[in-house]
Chains A and B, each alone.
Chain A
Amino acid sequence: MNAVDKTGNLSRRGFLHVTALAGGGMLIGARFSLDGARGAAAATAGADAALNAFIRLTPDGIATIMAQNPEIGQGVKTMLPMLIAEELDIPWSQVRVEQADFDSTKYRGQMAGGSMATPMHYQSMRRVGAAARAMLVAAAAKQWKTDPEKCTTEAGVVHFKKKSLSYGELATAAAEIEPPNPRTVPLKDPADFRIIGQEIPGVDNPKIVTGEPLFGIDVTVPGMKYAVFEKCRVHGGKVKTANLDAVKASPGVTDAFVVDATAQAESAAASFSMFQVAPPNGIAIVGDSWWLVNEARSKLEVTWDEGPTASQSTAAFDRQAEELSMQAPERDLRNDGDAAGALASAAKTLEAAYQYPFLAHAPLEPQNTTAHFHHGGLEMWAPIQTPQFARGDLAKTLGIPEDQITIHLTRMGGGFGRRLYWDYMLEAALIARQAGVPVKLVWTREDDTRFDFFRPGGYHYLKGGLDDSGNLVAWRDHFVSFGEGPRFAPSAEMAPNEFPQAFVPNFALQASKMPLGIPTGALRAPTSNAISFVVQSFIDELAAEAGKDPLQFRLDLLDAAPDGMRPAFDAKRMKAVLELVRDKSGWGTADLPEGTGQGVAFHFSHRGYFAEVVQATVSKEGELGVDRIWVAGDVGRQLVNPSNAVNQVQGAALDGLAQALDQEITFEGGRTKESNFHNFKLLRIDQAPPVEVHWVMSDNQPTGLGEPALPPVPPALCNAIFAVTGKRIRSLPIAKHDLSWT
């Protein structure tokens, strides 16, 4: 690069910045001060405030766009560059995409979570492309001595009357142009989109289908050793003694040692991000072959200090929850009207206890990280959804400055929320530091299943009241969950304005908690993936009690918001998806054979509106088959990449199906009982029904799709089972229930 360096004021903290490339062409990026990048607020509240991108335009007319966000299979590595390319007005065939490293001085919001990439970046990425286009136009206009306003662009070429210059020809000259203010640069009319809205295949597909290395587990560093890490099977337990010498004598093992970061981590923990992890304690085995070091684990003889969690079990949680349900709730989360009074005077009341289990994330690529201490710093290659939080927390725990930690983002073999947490990165760093060599830590599937940040289980003790025309007039939920002190365990909380709050005049949400001692965290569509099952199943029970069609009962309820109430979502948008799924599924009109039924549910989460119908067949003997799922969704006026959008929605719906059918994590003696895919069951192809996806294109800002299609599936399936068998499924998974009927 040469010395030409122009900056355009971007915002108070960031600058759009252009550099001429030594071999010709230009480099456009954004620069942020490191200070401004710290803290949770930068990643979540920044929405449209900051611009972040990186384009390299070379004289051959190729635009290389850096994909800034971590790719977990949500399609963001293709989607964000599409936004830039659209406004740059360059054909997709002239675009190359490269994965950016984590760099808070260049990028904002480098995070995969909360279905946030579309709402955060839809405008800002387009502005980067539009600003670059404006510079190319200005360069051409200068050459032609005309007004940029009179020039047009099309497919990577600037035109003025009969003259034209390609972006490649202009790239070097454009590097001399003052970058425009991206906040005021005009964006395309959506009617002129050529890339946004097209079905663009994933940019890594050619590598995926030929087996090229892409994932964290594929990383190799010169001089690297392999490591495994043996932890106490009781969550939170610690090593007392271990036969390290015997393990060191095993074939292929070069080192074995105890890692104990309890002290450092505890002192740093006060200032951790929300994705806090427990301090590692366990035994590292390091050597020349991953398989050999893992084999050496069988030689380990360890005495553990199991700690207080050793007394925890699923059976005990169930018992405590029932006891708590009979006591006064610990606290009120919400009170509208007078639920107790309205229940007492209701024409009909209904009572039910619902329960859902803990769940693991089980991404197919086990957790792993490669860590290398050198030149006074730490270099890491990691599948991580939250590099920004991970780096900050790692720096505090390891006692090294944040800017001495480099994180290379790898493609991830699934995330689902598991890789929001950086425990395996910390383990790898501690092992590499102690071993004094670069180390690649790879967990087994058993490690991955046992040591997750589980979706917490939960219990709901519900009462509903109907008036004499079958309208819902009262709702009371005593939610029994987990947590200590005033706080719920992560993802074990419930929003006080969950549906049907604001649609029923008398509403009470109360909570009690019990201590846990087992890590929990966000799983795809956190809290929604559980709450939807409870709410949309009990709504179905109330519809049946009222003698009304369950779908119409929901439509009526969505119309019933009492004056002055402000629901958490737009009831009209939800009604529109419900009506669409009713029409597409042939709800109430299809001629279904005996043993086949449909169930419906809807849920609002991550700004998305989703209503879904599941059709299931249950034999008299109780064998369940899921025939088809219809999804109707509203995520605003534009799907950026419809191919990926449908793939995400189908995947999310089938993820919900897998959870409902046969997934459960249980504990005994403080240990996770499940260990691999034989007892924590993922969906297989012969269980996967067709998923039909339909859209309501409402005139709203585009929002994300990774999560919101999941929550309606479990209740819609349970409601379909009820339609066939008359049996209510009030606890998951369904596999625990006898579905036989006569």
Chain B
Amino acid sequence: MAIAFTLNGKSTTVEAPPEMPLLWVLRDELDLKGTKFGCGRSFCGACTVHVNGEPERSCRMPVSRAEGKEITTIEGLSEDGAHPVQVAWQEIDVPQCGYCQAGQIMSASALLAGNPQPTDGDIDEAMSGNICRCATYGRIRAAIHHAAKLAQAPPTSHETATGAGGSEA
């Protein structure tokens, strides 16, 4: 069955069984590996994407439900990693293993889109579906507050933020 949706701003059509979860369509049919498989049962949030701007667990969303929707994955959150949440995550040095972080960033960016100044309580509520097995929770909280500040500041302040260099060549 052919299913058409907008993926990271581009119109996309896939041939897939309608009940195949969006997660596996993204990862294995469209080769977008940023969205992660952790549990397959909406317990962990590793597979979080935006569907019309709302966070959704793609492991439990049949691809047929994507028809006509706007889907954003971690790869499409920004052109170049400059979304305030992506910048804040690097400035606070959040990741340990990093496996959960795409899902965390997608949930955090959806939270900030609707609530630009979240309290710790708001963060707990919005983020409690995202497990971090390495338990980087303190830094996730700090990075969300930091991203909230970055999003308000003039854009130049993001650009100083790519960390201290040394990325993989």
Contact = CB atoms under 8 A, between A and B. Distances in A.
A690 interface: yes
A202 to B, nearest CB: 6
B86 A647 contact: no
Contacts of A644: 93
A211 B97 contact: no
B20 A291 contact: yes
Nearest to A94: B165
Contacts of A415: 97
A688 B137 contact: yes
Contacts of A205: 89-90, 93, 95, 98, 163, 167
B41 A445 contact: yes
B140 interface: yes
A617 to B, nearest CB: 16
A677 B43 contact: yes
A651 B39 contact: no
A155 to B, nearest CB: 13
A586 B156 CA distance: 42
B29 to A, nearest CB: 8
The dominant DSSP class at the B interface is loop
A208, A212, A676 pick with most chain B CB within 10 angstroms: A208
A678 B43 contact: yes
B75 interface: yes
B162 A206 contact: yes
B139 interface: yes
Interface string B67-87: 000000111011001000010
B40 to A, nearest CB: 6
A214 interface: yes
Contacts of B125: 686
A78 B138 CA distance: 21
A208 B163 CA distance: 13
A452 to B, nearest CB: 14
A113 interface: no
A206 B137 contact: no
Contact of B127 (A199, A364, A685): A685
Contacts of A217: 33, 36-37
A226 B167 CA distance: 31
B162 A651 contact: no
A411 interface: yes
Contacts of A650: 135-136, 138-139
A413 interface: yes
A481 interface: no
B34 A683 contact: no
A686 B34 contact: no
Interface in A409-425: 411-416
B44 A677 contact: yes
A643 interface: yes
A250 to B, nearest CB: 12
A92 B36 CA distance: 31
A289 B98 CA distance: 25
B61 interface: no
A218 B31 CA distance: 9
A78 B43 contact: no
A211 B133 contact: no
Nearest to A62: B169
Nearest to B31: A220
Given A220-B31, A414-B99, A682-B133, A206 B169 contact: no
Nearest to B90: A205
B37 A442 contact: yes
Interface string A668-685: 000000001110001111
A96 B166 contact: yes
Interface residues of B, number: 65
A289 B28 contact: yes
Nearest to A362: B133
B44, B90, B168 pick with most chain A CB within 10 angstroms: B168
A73 interface: yes
A412 B97 contact: yes
B124 A214 contact: no
B95 A202 contact: yes
A290 B28 contact: yes
A363 B97 contact: yes
A94 B101 CA distance: 27
B163 to A, nearest CB: 4
A206 B128 contact: no
A634 interface: no
A424 to B, nearest CB: 15
Contacts of B5: none
A203 B166 contact: yes
B138 A206 contact: no
Given A651-B134, A676-B41, A364 B46 contact: yes
Contact of A213 (B33, B127, B134, B135): B33
Contacts of B24: 289-291
Contacts of A366: 37-38
Interface in B14-31: 17, 20-21, 24, 28-29, 31
A445 B44 CA distance: 11
Contacts of A220: 31
Interface string B126-169: 01101111111111110000000000000000000011111111
A327 interface: no
Interface string B95-129: 11111111001000000000000000001110110
A62 B167 CA distance: 12
B35 A685 contact: no
Contacts of B51: none
A251 B16 CA distance: 11
A204 B96 CA distance: 10
B34, B123, B165, B166 pick with most chain A CB within 10 angstroms: B166
Contacts of B3: none
A10 B116 CA distance: 58
Given A73-B96, A685-B128, A204 B164 contact: no
B164 A691 contact: no
22 contacts: A73-B95, A74-B96, A91-B165, A93-B166, A96-B168, A99-B168, A198-B164, A202-B93, A206-B162, A206-B167, A208-B101, A209-B74, A209-B86, A212-B34, A215-B99, A363-B97, A363-B99, A365-B38, A445-B39, A445-B40, A685-B132, A690-B138
Interface of B: 17, 20-21, 24, 28-29, 31-41, 43-44, 46, 73-75, 77-78, 81, 86, 89-91, 93, 95-102, 105, 123-125, 127-128, 130-141, 162-169
Given A73-B98, A677-B39, 18 more contacts: A62-B169, A91-B165, A94-B165, A199-B164, A205-B98, A205-B167, A210-B78, A212-B33, A217-B33, A218-B33, A289-B29, A363-B133, A445-B40, A644-B93, A647-B139, A650-B136, A685-B132, A685-B137
